[in-house]
Amino acid sequence: MLAPIAATLALAGLAAASPIAVGANPHMNINVARDLKEYKTDVEIHESCNATQRRMLEKALADTFEVATVAQEYVATNGPEDPVFQKYFGKEQKSYSTVLGIWESLLTSNKEGVLLRCDNPDGNCGQPGWRGHWRGDNATSETVICDLSYTDRFYNEAFCMFGYTVAGSPLGTHWSIDLIHRMFHVPTITNGLVGHYSEDYASALELAEHNATYSSIDSDALQAFAAHVYAVEVAKGGDACIGEAAEAHSDSHGAATSSAAASASATPAASATSSAAESCHTHADGTEHCEGHAESSAAATSAAAAAATSAASQDCHTHADGSECKRASVIRFE
C-alpha cells in the first residue's frame, strides 16, 4: 500500500548539480523530467544489530506501523468532530489535515537513511536508565537503541495488560509508541514539524482544550492519541485501559510521582515492581522537563524466576542543542 505515493514525493528531488545557474532562468531548472529519488518504504536496521536485536526491532517496527496505520485510518474516517480526536487535538480547523498528514508522513515519507542502530556510537547507552536516543547533530536520521529497550518495552499484544493505562503509564511502555516518538525526532519523517509542546498526559489534554494551536503538532498528544485509539479499537481495553489523567503537570523538576500502574505485575512467576520512571524532554527554549510516571516492569522478558525492580529509571534522548537528561537512575534485575 505504500509504494504508489513514491511518484508524488519525487517532485522534491531537485538535482543539486545543475549545469544552469539558478539565477539565470529558474524555470529551466525545475521544468524538466527527472528521475525519481530512491525511495525506501522501511526504516533500516543497522548491521551493528545482532540477530536477536534485529528480530526484536523488526517486530517493533511492524508494531509501529500497525499503530500509526490505525491512528491514520481512525482520523481519516472519523474526522475532526470525533470526541477522541478533539480530546487530544482540540477544535482548530487546521488540526484535521495536520494530524492526518503527520500520520501519513510517518507511514509514507521516504525512509532513505532512516536508521536504527545498536552499537552505541555516541557512548550514551552507558548512562544509567538510557533506553535509546536520537543522534541529533551527529546523524540526524539515526536513532540508537540501547540494551535496556529490549528488556523494558512491550509489543502491541501487551496493550492493556498488567495495569497499563494510556493516562497513567509512560508513553514509551510499548515499542510502537516509543518508536513513533523516536521517528518524530528524525527531521525527514515530518519535515521537522512535530515537537514537544506539553509536559505530560494531563498537560497535553489541557493544551487541546484551552490552547490547541500546538496540539496537532505535539509529540505527546500524537503518541497518546495513537495509544488511545489502539487501546480501544484494537486491544478492546475500553475505559479501564484509558484511565484518568493525573493532575496537571506541576512543572517541578523534583521527585517523580508515579500513578496508576505503579504496581504493575507480570507473569505469576516473576514479581516485578517499579517506581518513579521519568521521561525527560528539552524544549525549544532550552528548558528541561522530566515527567513522573509509573514505569511498566520488564518482567515479561526477564527470566521467569527473576524479580525485577526498577527505580527512578529515565527515558532519555538528546536534542539538537545537545541537551539531555542528567538525572541519575537505576534499573536492577536481581
Ligand X SMILES: *[C@@H]1O[C@H](CO)[C@@H](O)[C@H](O)[C@H]1NC(C)=O
CB 321 within 8 A of CB 286: yes
CB 69 within 8 A of CB 107: yes
Length of the chain: 334
Q: For residues 255 and 249, what is the distance between their CA atoms, to the nearest angstrom? A: 13
User: Smallest Cα–Cα separation from 183: which of 157, 219, 229, 146?
Assistant: 219
Convert residues 118-137 into a mask of x (bound to ligand X by CB under 6 A) and - (unbound). ----x-x----------xx-
The 8-class DSSP code of residue 37 comes to P
- Least separation in angstroms between CB 124 and ligand X: 5
- Least separation in angstroms between CB 275 and ligand X: 26
- Least separation in angstroms between CB 189 and ligand X: 17
Range in contact with ligand X (rule: CB under 6 A) among 44-52, 81-89, 160-168, 268-276: 44-52
What is the crossing angle of helices 95-108 and 219-229, to 10°? 80
> 183-242: which residues touch ligand X (CB under 6 A)?
197, 211, 214
- Least separation in angstroms between CB 112 and ligand X: 21
> 83-122: which residues touch ligand X (CB under 6 A)?
122
- Least separation in angstroms between CB 121 and ligand X: 7
Work out whether 305 is an interface residue with ligand X (CB under 6 A): no
Range in contact with ligand X (rule: CB under 6 A) among 48-56, 65-73, 267-275, 305-313: 48-56
Per-residue 3-state assignment (H helix, E strand, C coil) for 202-254: HHHHHHHHHCHHHHHHEHHHHHHHHHHHHHHHHCCCHHHHHCCCCCCCCCCCC
User: Smallest Cα–Cα separation from 193: which of 104, 112, 114, 116?
Assistant: 104
Q: For residues 207 and 220, what is the distance between their CA atoms, to the nearest angstrom? A: 11
The 8-class DSSP code of residue 273 comes to E
Work out whether 52 is an interface residue with ligand X (CB under 6 A): yes
Range in contact with ligand X (rule: CB under 6 A) among 15-23, 51-59, 81-89, 293-301: 51-59
Site size toward ligand X, by CB under 6 A: 14
- Least separation in angstroms between CB 113 and ligand X: 17
Nearer to ligand X, 23 or 126 (CB): 126
- Least separation in angstroms between CB 156 and ligand X: 23
Work out whether 251 is an interface residue with ligand X (CB under 6 A): no
Q: Which of 18, 25, 78, 138 binds ligand X (CB under 6 A)?
A: 138
Range in contact with ligand X (rule: CB under 6 A) among 16-24, 46-54, 230-238, 254-262: 46-54
Q: For residues 258 and 172, what is the distance between their CA atoms, to the nearest angstrom? A: 15
Can you read off the three cell numbers belonging to residue 274? 517499579
CB 248 within 8 A of CB 292: no
State the DSSP H helix or E strand holding residue 201, giving kind and residue range, or none if neither. helix 201-210
Q: For residues 274 and 283, what is the distance between their CA atoms, to the nearest angstrom? A: 27
Range in contact with ligand X (rule: CB under 6 A) among 50-58, 77-85, 97-105, 229-237: 50-58
Nearer to ligand X, 184 or 214 (CB): 214
Residues that bind ligand X (CB under 6 A): 50-53, 122, 124, 135-136, 138, 147, 197, 211, 214, 318
